[in-house]
Amino acid sequence: MLKWKDILNFAADGSLKPTFRVEKSPQQWQNELSDEVYFVTRNKGTERPYSSASCSLFEPGKYACACCDNVLFDAHEKFESGSGWPSFTQPVQDNAIAYISDSSAGMQRIEIICNACDGHLGHVFPDGPPPSGLRYCVNALSMVKL
């Protein structure tokens, strides 16, 4: 189980090697993704809070990257955080997500990206429920439910 100290170490020293990589040009991504998904995943955008029904859906299943189908989260790790974005306590595998220090928006955060294609997912915070204490705050547009 990943803890906050693991996330900080990954952000400082580099994330785990991904299972596979997907490399495409910005033009290829733009041709394949909707404008909204492209904005969020390739331009590090953020969707409006509470703009997706995904926040309140808790059916079994997996969530994959909307760009490359890399499996990111299992629904049993999903919880209601009240943040307005889907929230999870752990990725499905430790190497599914990569972590980057982010000092934009006037604060220090840890950005989470798909470790297979570098698509922006959201951020991770140390204010989640036990036992991990993690809250992966994810843009719904960056994921597809499998």
Nearest to 51 by CA among 64, 36, 41, 63: 36
- DSSP letter string, 35-94: HHHHHHHHS---PPTT--GGGG---S-EEEETTT--EEEEGGGEE--SSSS-EESS-SST
Alpha-carbon gap, residue 8 to 42, rounded angstroms: 23
| Residue 137 annotated to the active site | yes
| Among 55, 114, 117, 137, the one annotated catalytic | 137
Alpha-carbon gap, residue 123 to 137, rounded angstroms: 5
Whether the Cβ atoms of residue 100 and residue 11 lie closer than 8 Å to each other: yes
State the catalytic residues.
Answer: 137
